[in-house]
Chain A
Amino acid sequence: MSELFNLEIVNPEKSFLSADDVKEVVVPAYEGEMGILKNHISIISFLKPGIMKIYRNNAEEKFYIEDGILEFKDDTLSILTSTVIKLDKLDKSFIDNSIQEAEKSLLKEGITDQQRFLISQKIDSLKSIGAN
């Protein structure tokens, strides 16, 4: 029995990644990191900014992901996200810019606690990427 399942990552502009040989995906779900293997129960959840790890072909791929919705059903994992970037393609200036923008929006009036939480998550994860 194979233990692989299908993965599909789409962003508004295009289908970002589509694979059928994925062993495990670890995503930054809203209520904490979540690892998904084959035969996972059907689930819908959404993501917070962080690092997504995909294990396939005995290798690990890392992506920075900003937000998104995740659906797992019939051994197919679909992730809808507006921003997903492979970690090695992330450059320093982008990180700095995003952090600055996020910090600015944190100062805006009238943001909800939830937004504040998401933004500070974004800053943290970006900073940790930048440090490496």
Chain B
Amino acid sequence: MPSLDDLKKRIVSVKSTQKITKAMKMVAAAKLKRAQDSAEKGRPYSEKMNKIILNLSENISDKENAPKLLIGTGSEKVHLCIILTSDRGLCGGFNSNIIKKAKSFFEKITKEGKTLKIITVGSKGYDQLKRLYKDKIIEKISFKESKNTNYFDAEKVGNMIIELFLKNEFDVCTIFYNKFKNVITQIPQEQQIIPLKSSEPDNSSSESNYEFEPEEDEILSNLLPKNISTQIFKAMLENSASEQGSRMSAMDNATRNAGEMVDKLTIEYNRSRQAAITKELIEIISGAESL
């Protein structure tokens, strides 16, 4: 039976934890609004980019000599996985969800006897993966310094991927991130970016013949690297919105749990206080009786 003093201390400590989680929830809510905004505003760009590339690749005449970034190297031996996670913890299942998804993908690949290479973006992903896949991780990137998700960071990652691709370091590149659906739901996603896979069959049969200036392949070879950075940027935006959303609901839960705990502890405190008083009274009464 904890003493009254101990109970009191615990109540105080839970209350101050509650204050922190509450504050974190508020901060996350404010940041979420911004992150969500930019994720939604960023969508048109990547969608347009994808559409143009699809149009282009349909129109391309010489499929054999199309850029490698579009059609791939022809083999599927080496897989590169980009795992996008957050730099900060305390955001519920956000990071573990991505890692879980990635791990099952890793297992599938290793089972098929293919080589695996990993790049982690965000320090939390590295922390969770380093134990099992340390020798597979070829690079870890973290953007702790930059406050907001910006395009330059994405471009850096994109350029790195392209450089590796040109050095024939891998054949297929897949990125993992959390797609922001709403505050409560974030869906871990895997998206193949090299070679480019059209995610949905194009129904809008674009028979329009485009005029190209300069030639198709020159445009494509210019556009494809950009598209990779754009897709990564999109993933980063979705991720940061998801992170804030996930943190907000996690902190909301924590605040509520702390509240419940304070209630329970207060009841226990009052009970033992009363028990102590009753005990004292009994002692006084029985002492008086024995006289």
Which residues of A are in contact with B by a Cβ distance under 8 Å?
Answer: 8, 10-15, 29-31, 34, 41-46, 69, 71, 73-74, 78, 80, 82
Contact = CB atoms under 8 A, between A and B. Distances in A.
Nearest to B149: A13
A43 B42 contact: no
Interface of B: 38, 41-42, 44-46, 48-49, 52, 55-56, 150-151, 154, 208-214, 219, 222-223, 226, 230, 233
B238 to A, nearest CB: 13
A43 B238 CA distance: 31
Contacts, number: 72
A19 to B, nearest CB: 15
B233 A12 contact: yes
A80 B210 contact: no
Interface of chain B, main secondary structure: helix
A12 B222 contact: no
Given A43-B212, A69-B49, 13 more contacts: A10-B44, A10-B45, A12-B151, A13-B150, A14-B38, A29-B213, A43-B211, A44-B210, A44-B212, A45-B212, A45-B213, A46-B219, A69-B223
B31 to A, nearest CB: 16
11 contacts: A12-B42, A12-B154, A13-B42, A13-B150, A43-B212, A44-B56, A44-B211, A46-B222, A71-B52, A73-B208, A74-B208
A42 B45 CA distance: 19
Given A44-B55, A69-B52, A82-B151, A11 B208 contact: no
Closest 10 CB pairs of A and B: A14-B41, A45-B213, A43-B211, A12-B151, A10-B45, A42-B208, A42-B210, A10-B44, A12-B45, A44-B210
Nearest to A15: B44
B151 A31 contact: no
B219 A44 contact: yes
Contacts of A80: 45, 48-49, 52
A11 B45 contact: yes
Contact of A46 (B154, B209, B223): B223
A13 B219 CA distance: 23
A69 B53 CA distance: 11
Contacts of B209: 42
Contact of A42 (B41, B49, B211, B222): B211
Contacts of B44: 8, 10, 15
A13 B230 CA distance: 10
B137 to A, nearest CB: 27
A30 B151 CA distance: 23
Nearest to B55: A44
Contacts of B48: 8, 10, 71, 78, 80
Contacts of A34: 213
A30 B48 CA distance: 20
A50 B27 CA distance: 41
Given A46-B223, A69-B223, A31 B42 contact: no
